[in-house]
Amino acid sequence: MTPTAGTHLRIARPSRDLAAAERFWVGGLGLAVLYRGEAGGPGEHDLLMVGWPDAAWHLELVGGAAHTVAPRPTEEDLLVLYLDGPVDDALVQELLRAGGTRVAAGPYWDRWGVTVADPDGYRLVLSTRSWANA
């Protein structure tokens, strides 16, 4: 079996605070909680999966008291959503109210969109471009 365009993609990241991450990704961006789990024993961690129910991708955020891996985002750790049109100012404001921080992302991304860091410092780019024109 080989991957196809319909193969589901999971992006897994550590989080310092799953509640803060949920406020940003669900309350701010509008993703849905697809799954939530709590550590059930030694070596386990809390888990929050968010995404759009029909999308071929989702974010898996892991954290909790037993989780020992801290987020280490760099300026190049981007999740880019190609909107194919203007970024809604109300959406940006909602992301900021939900714990995000607007950041400069360099000449290319600043020209073609808006970048907001989530509470763990990972960057979400809302691009005005379409995927076909990226």
What is the tens place of the pLDDT at every residue in 8-24?
Answer: 999 999 999 999 999 99
Tell me which of 17, 33, 63 is where a domain ends.
63
The pTM (predicted TM-score) of the whole model is 0.92
In this structure, the number of other CB atoms found within 10 A of the CB of residue 69 comes to 11
DSSP one-letter string for 61-94: EEESTT--PPP---TT-EEEEE-SSPPPHHHHHH
Kind plus residue range of the DSSP H or E element containing 113: strand 113-117
- Number of domains making up the chain: 2
Confidence grade of residue 115 (pLDDT, cut at 50, 70, 90) = very high
Check: CB of residue 64 under 8 Å from CB of residue 15: no
Task: Tell whether 57 and 91 lie within a shared domain.
Answer: no
Question: 96-109, pLDDT tens digit by residue?
Answer: 999 999 999 999 99
CATH number of the structural domain spanning residue 31: 3.10.180.10
Question: Among residues 69, 68, 61, 66, which one has the least CA distance to residue 122?
Answer: 61
Give the pLDDT confidence score for residue 45 in this predicted structure. 84
Task: Tell whether 59 and 82 lie within a shared domain.
Answer: no
**Pairing relation of β-strands 123-127 and 113-117?**
antiparallel
Check: CB of residue 113 under 8 Å from CB of residue 126: yes
Q: What is the mean pLDDT of the chain?
A: 93
Task: Tell whether 16 and 58 lie within a shared domain.
Answer: yes
Give the pLDDT confidence score for residue 60 in this predicted structure. 96
Domain that includes residue 58, residue range: 9-63
Q: Is residue 71 part of a domain?
A: no
Question: 41-71, pLDDT tens digit by residue?
Answer: 777 788 999 999 999 999 999 987 767 788 8
**Pairing relation of β-strands 57-63 and 9-14?**
parallel
